[in-house]
Amino acid sequence: MLNKADIVEAARSAGIGASDGLPAEIKLESKADIVIANGCELEPLVFSSRHVLLHNAAEIINGLELAMQATQAARGIVAYVKRIPEIDAAVQAAACGHAGIEIFHAPPFYPIEDDFTIACAATGRVVPNSATLAAIGVCVLDVETLYNLSRAAGGNPANERTVSITGEVAQPAVLRLPLGTTVGEAIERCGGAKNDDFRVLLGGPISGRIADDLSQPISRCTAAIVVLPANHVQIQRRMRPLSVMLLHARTACTACEECTRYCTRYLSGQDIEPHQIMRVISYSLDSLNKSITSAVNCHECGVCDIVCRMGLSPRVICREIKAHLRAMGWSTPASDIDGQLRTGFMKNRVPLEELAERLGVQKYVQAIDPQQILNAGVAPLRTVDGVMIHPLQTGEEAPAQERRKEE
Ligand code: SF4
Ligand code: SF4
């Protein structure tokens, strides 16, 4: 049986990160009484966690037990939204007979995948203002990290990433790609882009950032690649210069407070009110008042952007403020007062069926059968022209890369 030091070392030498970019060994070195395997995933066009849950449930349970051992946690919780019966059956079967492991069917709202939100929903514990999950004795690791931890314990490096590739591609798919595969190669693996003038989001249509170029490699943080027309609202929105965003914030914000009513971290008890940030930003970034510094509590989930009827982006403003505060060496002291959930934690949520429509991606969502994309297993890798790729599933069309070679 591996001890704490062995597990932490296995994670370190395998190079396991977490999808939030924080090396897993840092979380494993801490002490917790509950570890949550986070398999919640409700952002449209993202399927990676569900794919790992469906195909690698046994490894996830093994990784969860290793994480519980490392953190000395007595409880392990596998959290996911019960939408695909096969996933539920796979997890139930894998968890059966494992002492201390529970299954939590998470409420179906975006972003239940947010660490603070799932920790609160699954355990009832609320993180104090500006504190971390360690303050409530909870460690949250995403299911891909736990899958990698299980493999690392067997001496395998964490050199792949499960990636959903969707949007304007010929064959949307979930692939397990070697880290370092370029964005362009990943898109080619799905038959190429269907639109000549396209841009790529690394991440889903809410959380994603525009890829610099197609030669950019995927990393362990790349859960999704979404190809969209260059004139798509989600691309145009992200291409606005900051100066224009600030000007819009000054002139168009109606102080309606919707962004605060729906703010994920506000509802989770953190001290952040995006509508106040938008008001104060009109004056100066340099005035370090409480509203400005509260932006450190923003998790960049993007809900405020979705609900703002004026098309403003409190999320981007918060991101810029955080960068500004980091550059100034600012840090916010964590509160030692117990966190309190805000009224509306369960209620103030954008209905799932409206999410895709508000994001302008409903046609891509409708084009995908979740059962089909999830049930396609991940085939072993092989090499074509020095590039590691997955063999085709039966009946699939050859990817453009191979078609060109044959021609
Ligand atoms: S939702 Fe938009 S308009 Fe309303 S307060 Fe927030 S940023 Fe301003
Ligand atoms: S992105 Fe918006 S909704 Fe999400 S935590 Fe930040 S301010 Fe709140």
Q: Phi, psi (5° rounding) for residue 5?
A: -60, -40
Identify whether the C-beta of residue 77 lies closer than 8 Å to the C-beta of residue 98. Answer: no
Mean pLDDT calculated for residue range 396-407? 39
Residue 308 CA, ligand 2 centroid: distance in Å: 11
What is the number of the ligand 2 atom nearest to the C-alpha of 274? 7
Closest CA to 116 of 222, 205, 20, 223: 20
**Amino acid 2: pLDDT:** 86
Q: Which residue has the higher pLDDT, 250 or 9?
A: 9
Q: Measured between alpha carbons, how far is 219 from 223 in angstroms, rounded to an integer?
A: 9
- For ligand 1, say whether the CB of 312 is within 6 Å of any of its atoms: yes
What is the number of the ligand 1 atom nearest to the C-alpha of 275? 5
pLDDT at 347 over 50: yes
Mean pLDDT calculated for residue range 118-145? 96
- For ligand 1, say whether the CB of 315 is within 6 Å of any of its atoms: no
Report the b/e string of 180-204 with b at 16+ CB within 10 A.
Answer: ebbbbbbbbbbbbbeeeebbbbbbb
Residue 312 CA, ligand 2 centroid: distance in Å: 12
- For ligand 1, say whether the CB of 258 is within 6 Å of any of its atoms: yes
Task: For residue 393, give the DSSP letter.
Answer: P
The pick from 43, 209, 298 for probing ligand 2's pocket by mutation, whose C-beta has the most ligand atoms within 8 angstroms, reads 298
CA-only gyration radius of the chain, Å: 21
| Category of 72 on φ-ψ map: left (φ > 0), alpha (ψ -120 to 50) or beta | left
Q: Measured between alpha carbons, how far is 123 from 395 in angstroms, rounded to an integer?
A: 45
- Six token digits for residue 240: 């606005």
At position 346, the amino acid (one-letter code) is M
**Amino acid 330: pLDDT:** 85
- Which residue's CA is the nearest one to ligand 2's atom 6? 298
Residue 113 CA, ligand 2 centroid: distance in Å: 14
Helical residues (DSSP H) of 83-182, grouped into ranges: 85-95, 115-123, 143-153
Mean pLDDT calculated for residue range 307-318? 94
Residue 300 CA, ligand 2 centroid: distance in Å: 5
Task: For residue 294, give the DSSP letter.
Answer: G
**Strand-pair category, 224-229 with 209-210:** unpaired
Q: What is the pLDDT of residues 7-50, one digit of tens each?
A: 999 999 998 876 666 788 999 999 999 999 999 999 999 999 99
- Which residue's CA is the nearest one to ligand 2's atom 8? 263
Task: For residue 333, give the DSSP letter.
Answer: P
Average pLDDT value for the chain = 89
**Strand-pair category, 75-80 with 101-105:** parallel
% pLDDT > 70, the chain: 90
Neighbouring C-alpha atoms within 13 Å toward the C-beta of 402: 16
At position 123, the amino acid (one-letter code) is T
Identify whether the C-beta of residue 115 lies closer than 8 Å to the C-beta of residue 134. Answer: no
- Which residue's CA is the nearest one to ligand 1's atom 4? 256
**Amino acid 164: pLDDT:** 96
Confidence of residue 288 (pLDDT cuts 50, 70, 90): confident
Mean pLDDT calculated for residue range 97-103? 96
Identify whether the C-beta of residue 81 lies closer than 8 Å to the C-beta of residue 41. Answer: yes
**Amino acid 46: pLDDT:** 96
Residue 108 CA, ligand 1 centroid: distance in Å: 25
**Amino acid 399: pLDDT:** 41
Degrees to nearest 5, angle at CA 345 with 341 and 348: 145
Mean pLDDT calculated for residue range 222-239? 96
- Which residue's CA is the nearest one to ligand 1's atom 5? 255
Q: Phi, psi (5° rounding) for residue 370?
A: -55, -40
pLDDT at 405 over 50: no
Q: Measured between alpha carbons, how far is 229 from 212 in angstroms, rounded to an integer?
A: 15
Q: Measured between alpha carbons, how far is 348 from 354 in angstroms, rounded to an integer?
A: 14
Residue 290 CA, ligand 2 centroid: distance in Å: 16
Identify whether the C-beta of residue 16 lies closer than 8 Å to the C-beta of residue 23. Answer: yes
Q: Which residue has the higher pLDDT, 396 or 201?
A: 201
**Amino acid 208: pLDDT:** 94
Q: What is the pLDDT of residues 366-381, one digit of tens each?
A: 999 888 888 875 544 4
Closest CA to 352 of 49, 106, 172: 106
**Considering only 46-60, 207-221, 273-287, 308-322, which range has the smallest mean pLDDT?**
273-287
Confidence of residue 387 (pLDDT cuts 50, 70, 90): very low
**Amino acid 394: pLDDT:** 31
* Model pTM score: 0.89
**Amino acid 160: pLDDT:** 93
- Six token digits for residue 57: 């449930």
3-state secondary structure of 166: strand
Ligand nearest to the CA of 278: 1
- For ligand 1, say whether the CB of 257 is within 6 Å of any of its atoms: yes
- Six token digits for residue 248: 């819009």
Q: What are the Cα distances from residue 249, in Å, to 21, 277, 306?
A: 30, 10, 15
**Amino acid 242: pLDDT:** 87
Among 263-267, 327-331, 349-353, name the most confident range: 263-267
Domains and CATH numbers, the chain: 4-153 (3.40.50.11540), 161-232+360-395 (3.10.20.600), 239-350 (no CATH)
**Amino acid 398: pLDDT:** 38
Residue 59 CA, ligand 2 centroid: distance in Å: 33
Residue 19 CB-density burial (10 A; 0-12 exposed, 13-18 middle, 19+ buried)? buried
Instruction: Find where tokens 């070195």 sit.
Output: 29
Q: What is the pLDDT of residues 259-281, one digit of tens each?
A: 999 999 999 999 999 999 999 88
Q: Measured between alpha carbons, how far is 381 from 154 in angstroms, rounded to an integer?
A: 20
User: Which residues partner with 105 through β-bridges?
Assistant: 80
**Amino acid 289: pLDDT:** 84
Instruction: Find where tokens 């895709």 sit.
Output: 356
3-state secondary structure of 178: strand
- For ligand 1, say whether the CB of 310 is within 6 Å of any of its atoms: yes
